[in-house]
Structure 1
């Protein structure tokens, strides 16, 4: 990977249980200077929780963003670039992350 991943982008990564889509949630300044990123999983499983964000027609994938489990992924673990979430989904993810982390 030559360019630093950008917040809001989705990549495929295999952490030992099959390749899954991951959303980059770490800030871009951090992404440029560190060897890893913070990411959350996309899933097709629905949960009625304020920390799970449904994706819409403007997003590159269907399903949900699960902000309950933030993982550190090495940039070398990032596989295929799958697209970037829509601005409205990013706003919803920001809210869900605040809930997940207990930030008022």
Structure 2
């Protein structure tokens, strides 16, 4: 899906060479439109300890799992395989707090 312009808050399946994995877009939409890449967090279904940088997805989200706010990665549009859906506004608020914690921002 190289013509896809990633949208902040949406979850996409992307293949970075190790099979398809879910990624949550966190970069702003202006950046996403202007550049051929975007910033995303990895989503995992592996159990993780409770930490400020690990955000549990809820029933309001399109997937079960956890967003790893300390696993911020640059992806390219041509790595997108398909759109899974949008994270809830509540999840995105928790993700914003998780990114602040990961980067030690106030």
Q: TM-score higher than 0.5 here?
A: yes
> Structure 1: where are the runs of 5+ without partners?
none
Aligned-partner Cα distance in 2 for 1:5–1:19: 16
TM-score (norm 2): 0.93
Deviations 1:57-96 (A, max 9, x none): 1100011000111110011111110000000000000000
Aligned-partner Cα distance in 2 for 1:76–1:2: 8
Q: Which runs of 4+ in 1 moved over 6 A?
A: none
Deviation, structure 1 residue 9 = 0.5
Deviation, structure 1 residue 2 = 3.4
Paired residues, what number? 104
Kept in 1: contact 2:3–2:77 (CA 8 A): no
Q: CA RMSD in A?
A: 1.0
TM-score (norm 1): 0.95
> Structure 2: where are the runs of 5+ without partners?
none
Q: Give the corresponding residue for 1:62.
A: 64
